[in-house]
Structures are given as structure tokens and as C-alpha cells.
Amino acid sequence: MRVLVLGAAVSGRAAARLARDLGNEVTVYDRTAAALEDMEGKTTAGEWQRRFLSGVDLVVTSPGFPEHSGAIADVLAERVPLVSEMEFAASQMTVPYAAVTGTNGKTTVTSVAADMLTASGVKAIAAGNIGTALSDIALDPPEAVVVEASSFQLRFIDSFHPRVAAILNIAPDHLDWHSSFADYVAAKQRIFENQIGEDILVYDCDDAAATAAVETAPSRPIPVSGRHVPDGGYGPRGANLVLPAGTVDRPPLDAAYTMDLVAAASIAAHLGATLDGIDRTIARFEPGKHRRSVVGSWGGVTWINDSKATNPHAALASVAAYESVILIAGGRNKGLDLRPLGAAPTVRKVIGIGEASGELEAAAVSARFHAALTLDEAIALADSMAESGDTVLLAPGCASFDMFSSYQQRGEEFTRLVVARKGGPRGE
């Protein structure tokens, strides 16, 4: 079989390796020749041309090709079978797997669920959109796999069938990739389209969009919450978390992180995690890097790095966690409405950075908005404005690619600059 792989980044390279291991003739296409320099086998670079599909039996696509791109349009027009890397890999899987999607929280829930399984003595791995491509483990998987599934990957599935699926929340995001919000929601819903009655579907019952999305699911829905114990589901009750495997102590976390832990426990329990393994994982849980990470506190002002908040929904969740916020936001907008950031009631000042600074200025009350050309300038402005009791919060609500290579680099630079300015880690 002749396989064409679109994209030479992490998932594309993994798909190419898997396709070759399965005995296929593989060609990898990427727009830039530099991306293909160290690739094995046949490659094609440059402007996309429909002739690249000549003789191709299967196309495996990467997230770098939006559903409205010329390449995808041509593949669909030529009726060449088209699947995402995740679908291609999952078709080779012989062990049960869970899949987690949602606008925010996917990485946390996926990694914690895998950790709960490991702590229970189950050989497990977190894969998919989280860093380890599913194609790299498809032929030699551990006992259980927890897959972070993005809307990009779900858009082009066929037989993808998680025994346990989760939809955490749904809010506008990636509208520069999908044709509309409705298409984005439809992609998320595909996570359960191949499930059957005995399969499990975990969802955040406090999120109206997620609740609506699961109404048509053929599997068994299980509601979870970070605020209460819903009927037929799991969540916090007083000082405890009520979970499928039993009850454990509730950690001192906000509702969003509590929901993540409850969702992870609900997923892991249905793949074989024990109450002890779940409890030990929850007890040692700490939010990941660049997710509401405390950089330090000086003069009564706390500095928070939430560079992972790359859409307004995530940024607003951060803003709501603090009483008085100087918000550093902006970057490359993903086709989303930034106006709620400029009007959030706990935000005292907005400092705009990057390409979206003008949109934030238009959204904010004029007296509250200040523009900065660089992140260093934004930090200096925040430092001059901050008063005791304030939180200076980096929650961009946008992608990083106008100024940085990733949200990680943006968060690391924020941390470095704050520590350098304030004279050492943590401060007082």
C-alpha cells in the first residue's frame, strides 16, 4: 500500500515510521524542505499540488493541515482515504485505551489518569497530543493507554474506539483550524461515535456545552464535577472526593483542578486503577508547568505564570481564581472573541502583548489598558502598577507563535524575567 503522510513534525514522523514498519511504501510531504532534511525514505516538499496524490492508497494527516487547507480539500475531492495519525495508530492497537478531549484540561487529566494506573501496578502510558505519538507505541503498547485527543486528531477518525472516553469542557477554540464552532464541537463529539452501550463516557456536568454534547452518545455517561457530587457521578463532598473506587481526602485545590482529578480517577478506575493508587496520585498532585504556577511573591504582590492558557476560556478560569488581577494577555489570536478578557470583573489592569494587543485594547475600558511591545516591557509595566493584594497574571488567551516558539518558551521567559527583576525566586 502506498501511504502519503502530511507533515514532518512529531506525529507525522511517528506515522511514517509505523507505516514503514507495517510494510507500506511511504512518502512524507511537508511545505518546507528543511523539515524533511533528516527524514528516512521518500519525501516531497514545496507548494502543495494535487498530483502528489497520484497512486496513493491512504493519506495520514497531521494537525498542521487545517480541515479547510488545500491539501485536505484535494484529498477529499479525490476520495482518497484520509485518517489522522491517531486513527492510523489506534487501528493497530490490541489493548484497551481511554481518550480524553476538551477545550482545556486534557493534558492534566490524561497524565494524571496514566499516573493513577501506574501507581496501581498497571503498566500504562499517556500518549497522543500530550507528547508521545500514539504511532510510536501502537505495535508494542503497555497494558493500558490514555490518549489525549485533540479536535484536529478526532476530525479524521474512522474506527477509533476508546473503551473510556472523556469530554471535559467545550468552549470556542481553534477557529482558525476548523471552519466554524459547530465543526469544532462536532469533532469533539466524534470521540464517542464508535462507542457502544458497555463503554464509559465521562463528562463535566457543570459545563453546559459538554453536557449538551454527550446527549447523543451511545455509551454510558458518567457526570463528574469539581464542585459537588452529581446524581450518578462523582465529585467533592466536604473534605472528601467521592470516586468510583471509593472515597479519598480532598486536596486544597480550586474547582477546575478538583474536576480534573475526579475525571482522571473516573477514567483510571474503569481501566483497572485501585483506590490506593488513585489516592496516592492525588496526594502528590501538583499543577503542571505553566499552569497557574506561582513564580513568587514580593511586596504583597503574587506573580503567576499561566502561559498554558492559550484561549479565552482558559484565561478567564485563571482570572476568576484571584480577587485583583493585573492581566498580561495577548499573542496570536486563534479566531476567538477576546472581549470577555477586557471586561472580566476581577481584572484591574490589562497589559496587551503581541498581535492581539489591539483587540484587547478595543475590548477593555480605556483606563484599564496598556500596551507593551515586549514581555519584558509588560512585566515592567505590571511591576509599576501593582499594589499589595494584586496578582500579576500571565494568562494570554492566545497562542504564542507571534513572539515565541511555544507556550512553554513564553512561560519560561516570563518566569526568568520576573525572577531577574524581583531579585530571586519566591521572594518573601
In terms of Cα–Cα distance, which of 14, 162, 28 is closest to 89?
A: 14
Alpha carbons 109 and 361: distance in angstroms, whole number: 34
Residues 303 and 278 in one domain: no
Residue type, 3: V
Alpha carbons 140 and 205: distance in angstroms, whole number: 36
Alpha carbons 77 and 71: distance in angstroms, whole number: 10
User: What CATH number does the domain containing 306 carry?
Assistant: 3.90.190.20
Residues 245 and 323 in one domain: no
Residues 65 and 200 in one domain: no
The answer to whether the CB of 30 falls within 8 A of the CB of 48 is no
Integer-rounded Cα Rg, in Å, for the chain is 22
Residues 73 and 101 in one domain: no
The answer to whether the CB of 268 falls within 8 A of the CB of 120 is yes
Residue 366 has pLDDT above 70, yes or no: no
Residue 300 has pLDDT above 70, yes or no: yes
pLDDT above 90: percentage of residues in the chain: 76
What is the pLDDT at residue 286? 85
Tell whether 97 is covered by a domain.
yes
What is the pLDDT at residue 367? 63
pLDDT above 70: percentage of residues in the chain: 98
Alpha carbons 156 and 14: distance in angstroms, whole number: 17
pLDDT digits (tens, 9 = 90+) for 201-238: 999 999 999 999 999 999 999 999 999 999 999 999 99
Residues 226 and 337 in one domain: no
Residues 158 and 246 in one domain: yes
Residue 188 has pLDDT above 70, yes or no: yes
The answer to whether the CB of 146 falls within 8 A of the CB of 113 is yes
Q: How many domains does the chain have?
A: 3
- Cell numbers found for residue 210: 459538554
Alpha carbons 114 and 147: distance in angstroms, whole number: 9
* Pairing mode of beta strands 97-101, 82-84: unpaired
**246 strand-pairing partners:** 243
What is the pLDDT at residue 362? 85
Residue 424 confidence class, pLDDT cut points 50, 70, 90 = low
Tell whether 428 is covered by a domain.
no
Q: Helices H, strands E: what count in the chain?
A: 14, 21
Tell whether 298 is covered by a domain.
yes
Residue 320 has pLDDT above 90, yes or no: no
DSSP 71-101: HHHHHHHTT--EEEHHHHHHTT--S-EEEEE
In terms of Cα–Cα distance, which of 226, 230, 201 is closest to 216?
A: 201
Domain that holds residue 53: 2-80
Residues 136 and 268 in one domain: yes
What is the pLDDT at residue 245? 86
Residues 93 and 214 in one domain: yes
Burial class of residue 425, CB neighbours in 10 A (0-12, 13-18, 19+): exposed
Residues 6 and 64 in one domain: yes
What is the pLDDT at residue 248? 97
Among 33, 57, 80, the domain boundary falls at: 80
- Cell numbers found for residue 55: 497512486
Look-up of cell digits 499594589 = 387
Among 283, 311, 341, the domain boundary falls at: 283
Q: What pTM was computed for the model?
A: 0.80
Residues 301 and 406 in one domain: yes
pLDDT digits (tens, 9 = 90+) for 262-288: 999 999 999 999 999 999 999 999 887
Residues 136 and 256 in one domain: yes
Instruction: Tell which wins on pLDDT, 129 or 30.
Output: 30
Tell whether 167 is covered by a domain.
yes
User: What CATH number does the domain containing 37 carry?
Assistant: 3.40.50.720
pLDDT digits (tens, 9 = 90+) for 231-257: 999 999 999 999 998 999 999 888 888
Query: Within a 10 A sphere around the Cβ of 144, how many other Cβ atoms?
Result: 24
Q: How many residues does the chain have?
A: 428
Alpha carbons 25 and 145: distance in angstroms, whole number: 28
Burial class of residue 182, CB neighbours in 10 A (0-12, 13-18, 19+): exposed
pLDDT digits (tens, 9 = 90+) for 85-137: 999 999 999 999 999 999 888 999 999 999 999 999 999 999 998 879 999 99
Residues 72 and 118 in one domain: no
pLDDT digits (tens, 9 = 90+) for 133-184: 999 999 999 999 999 998 889 999 999 999 999 999 888 777 677 778 888 8
Query: Within a 10 A sphere around the Cβ of 76, how many other Cβ atoms?
Result: 13
DSSP 266-324: HHHHTTT--HHHHHHHHHT--PPTTSSEEEEEETTEEEEE-TT--SHHHHHHHHTT-SS
Tell whether 195 is covered by a domain.
yes
Mean pLDDT of the chain: 92
Tell whether 135 is covered by a domain.
yes
What is the pLDDT at residue 175? 66
Alpha carbons 179 and 338: distance in angstroms, whole number: 19
Among 37, 59, 80, the domain boundary falls at: 80
Tell whether 213 is covered by a domain.
yes
Residue 309 confidence class, pLDDT cut points 50, 70, 90 = very high
Tell whether 288 is covered by a domain.
no
What is the pLDDT at residue 324? 94
User: What CATH number does the domain containing 214 carry?
Assistant: 3.40.1190.10
The answer to whether the CB of 392 falls within 8 A of the CB of 318 is no
